[in-house]
Amino acid sequence: MDTILTTESLSKHYGKFKALDNVSMHIPKGAIYGFVGRNGAGKTTLIRLICGLQEPDSGTYTIYGTANDDKAISKQRARMGAVIETPSIYMEMSAEENLKQQARILGLPSFDGIDELLKLIGLEQTGNKKAKHFSLGMRQRLGIGIALVNDPDFLVLDEPTNGLDPQGIIQIRELILKLNQNRQITLLISSHILDELSKLATHFGFIDNGRIVKEISAEQLEMMSRQCLRLEVDNIQALIRVLDSMKLNYKLINGNTAEIYGKPSITHLIQELADQHCEVQSIQEQDESLESYFINLVGGSHE
């Protein structure tokens, strides 16, 4: 499969702090690549490097097969769009004026496609309304629209749903899927909202302390994610004793609930709990979440 972006042993230091430590990652053409990591894990640093905003201390990366030290890399970056940290928006301008201004900055010969782009990002009805009066979700969509003015086939989004309400998150999700499925745009999406990424991504890269700890496709992740039983009881200490005696792998969720991994005999488990005078209040089967997978992969709690 063709790759849009490949990094090899990419490193970046700030003094003694290693923001990126020998990062190697691969983004296939056509993918929605979910870049997963805690705050400070190195996600934004990597994005800034590949967008040319900073230079790596060591290692290399290629975009569309062109290396970062090749003079032609600027031409390849012209095929990219990016929204890093906060969208670059002229607050005193309308959505249409913002898109036209970006077209001027890029030296595009005309404003052809601006009306279509406004419809794509759902801002065609905003008229002369200034961006400073937009909701956070509208500004985020406008920022993505600005990144799309040059008609890129690779789009980089840094925390695109951060701070949005549920409706705003849904709108961004629908826009991302349209871009990928209808316009065949490859996307790199950095986010700590793992549940949302799980609804979108076709591939994942997990980063922790500046290192890539795993790359995996959504299909592979689904196959590897453990199924579990979520058990709610009236006596958590009795449940712990039974689970330990049965040598089962489990995780406590709160004061009366645990997730049990593997395939225990439910009949045997309930009988053992009954012998301990422990009542089962609810039991349900479920797949391991992306967040649980990430926590188990890197250890510790997710922030």
What domains, with CATH codes, occur in the chain? 3-223 (3.40.50.300), 226-287 (3.30.70.100)
Q: What is the mean pLDDT of residues 79-92?
A: 91
**Residue 145 backbone dihedrals phi, psi, to 5 degrees:** -60, -45
Q: Which of 30, 35, 24 is nearest to 1 (CA)?
A: 30
Q: For residues 39 and 41, what is the distance between their CA atoms, to the nearest angstrom? A: 6
Pick from 142-146, 222-226, 239-243, 252-256 the range whose average pLDDT is largest: 142-146
Amino acid 134: pLDDT: 96
| Greater pLDDT, 291 or 169 | 169
Higher-confidence residue: 193 or 171?
A: 171
Distance in angstroms between the alpha carbons of the first and the last residue of the chain? 34
Question: Which of 76-85, 91-100, 190-199 shows the lowest per-residue confidence on average (mean pLDDT)?
Answer: 190-199
pLDDT tens for 207-225 read 999 999 999 999 888 776 7
Residue range 113-130: mean pLDDT, rounded: 96
State mean pLDDT over 91-114.
95
Q: What is the mean pLDDT of residues 88-109?
A: 95
Bridge partner list, 258: 231, 252
- Number of Cβ atoms within 10 Å of the Cβ of 44: 19
Average pLDDT rounded to a whole number, residues 187-201? 89
User: Tell me, what's the pLDDT at 263?
Assistant: 77
Q: Tell me the mean pLDDT in the region 194-212.
A: 92
CA–CA separation, 193 and 213 (whole Å) = 18
- Percent of the chain past pLDDT 90, that is, above it, reads 75
CA distance 178 to 16: 42
Mean pLDDT of 67-82: 94
Write down the pLDDT at residue 294: 83
DSSP string over 230-298: EEEES-HHHHHHHHHHTT--EEEEETTEEEEES---HHHHHHHHHHTT--EEEEEEEEPPHHHHHHHHH
35 with 207: CB under 8 angstroms?
Answer: yes
**In terms of DSSP H, where are the helices of the chain?**
43-50, 73-77, 95-105, 114-120, 136-147, 166-181, 194-198, 218-224, 236-245, 266-275, 290-298
Higher-scoring residue by pLDDT: 191, 137 = 137
What pLDDT shows up at residue 11? 97
Q: Decide: 147 and 81 in contact? Cβ < 8 Å.
A: yes
User: What integer pLDDT is reported at residue 302 of this predicted model?
Assistant: 42
Residue-level pLDDT at 23: 96
Greatest alpha-carbon pair distance for the chain in Å reads 79
> Residue 27's closest CA among 44, 50, 45?
50
| Model pLDDT for residues 282-300, shown as the tens digit of each residue | 998 877 678 778 877 887 5
**pLDDT of 226 above 70:** no
Q: How confident is the model at residue 154 (pLDDT cuts 50, 70, 90)?
A: very high
- Coil, helix or strand at residue 197: helix
Q: Is the pLDDT of residue 303 over 80?
A: no
Structure tokens at 80: 């990219």
pLDDT value for 300: 58
pLDDT at 8: 96
Residue 301 has pLDDT above 60, yes or no: no
CB 236, CB 255: distance < 8 Å: yes
Residue 228 neighbours by CB under 8 Å, 6+ apart: 259, 260, 261, 285, 286, 287, 288
Please give the mean pLDDT across all residues of the chain. 91
The pLDDT-based confidence of 259 (bands split at 50, 70, 90) is confident
40, pLDDT greater than 90: no
